[in-house]
Amino acid sequence: MEKEMILSPSILSADFGILAEQVKRAENAGAQWLHIDVMDGHFVPNMTFAMPVIKSLRKYTDMFFDVHLMIDKPERYIDEFINAGADGVTFHIEATDKPKECIEMIQNRGKKAAISINPKTPVSAIEKYFDKVDMVLVMSVEPGYGGQKYIESVNEKIAYIREKMGSDFDIEVDGGINANNIDNAINAGANIIVAGTAVFNDDIEGSVRSLMR
């Protein structure tokens, strides 16, 4: 059974002065998830937002909150992000020496647990967690910023995970995706697509429609 494609627009590229309004526009246009990029200025060179923004946004939409933690030692904050409204929590294997505990913390709260690898990190770094997590997030850019170019070589990682885990496993890809390259990512095996700059621009509705499959 082919998994339904899910679009998870990244709010990193949205206008934070009217964030709820922009999110509602993406939701009404058909996006099913909302990708929320949390950065600590330490694991990645950029800083964004955290629990207070998620807590506020939670009141305005029922979208699945796909929280991407680009923070060091994520085990310190998983519970707080879930309290703020996260439905899925993704942490980076490069950011913790307690991946098993992170997965258990998320699943013990009934939320979707995902592990992520950066472009330079081999799949072998997370293979032993494939049967524990609910999803794998394959980064197709170096984490930290929106608007970067898709790194084509990650398609091999996506294909490997799809081959290994079968058609009913969630594989999310994140970074540099637009209407011109989304089909390569889907054909490689990704079924959940993150898009920031390709969605939050002056035509949110048209952009969402151009990416839905």
Q: Shortest Cβ distance from residue 32 to Zn ion (Å)?
A: 16
Stretch that binds Zn ion, among 24-32, 73-81, 170-178, 184-192 (CB under 5 A): 170-178
Among 13, 90, 96, 155, contact with ligand DX5 (rule: CB under 6 A): 13
Question: At 60, phi and psi to the nearest 5?
Answer: -105, -10
Residues 6+ apart with CB under 8 A from 158: 138, 171, 173, 185, 188, 189, 190
Indicate the SS3 state at residue 122: coil
Site string (73-92) toward Zn ion, x via CB under 5 A = --------------------
In angstroms, rounded to a whole number, what is the distance separating the alpha carbons of residues 102 and 82? 12
Instruction: Give the number of other Cβ atoms within 10 Å of residue 137's Cβ.
Output: 28
The question of whether 37 is a catalytic residue gets the answer yes
* Residue 13 is assigned to a ligand binding site: no
CA dist 169 to 2, 3, 114, Å?
Answer: 10, 8, 11
Question: Total residues contacting Zn ion (rule CB under 5 A)?
Answer: 3
Stretch that binds ligand DX5, among 50-58, 59-67, 162-170, 174-182 (CB under 6 A): 174-182
Residues 6+ apart with CB under 8 A from 17: none
Q: Shortest Cβ distance from residue 174 to ligand DX5 (Å)?
A: 5
* Residue 79 is assigned to a ligand binding site: no
Residue 99 makes contact with ligand DX5 by CB under 6 A: no
In angstroms, rounded to a whole number, what is the distance separating the alpha carbons of residues 10 and 28? 15
> Using CB under 5 A as the criterion, which residues of the chain lie in contact with Zn ion when the complex forms?
37, 68, 174
Residues marked active site are found at 37, 174
> Using CB under 6 A as the criterion, which residues of the chain lie in contact with ligand DX5 when the complex forms?
10, 12-13, 35, 37, 68, 70, 141, 143-144, 146-148, 174-177, 194-198
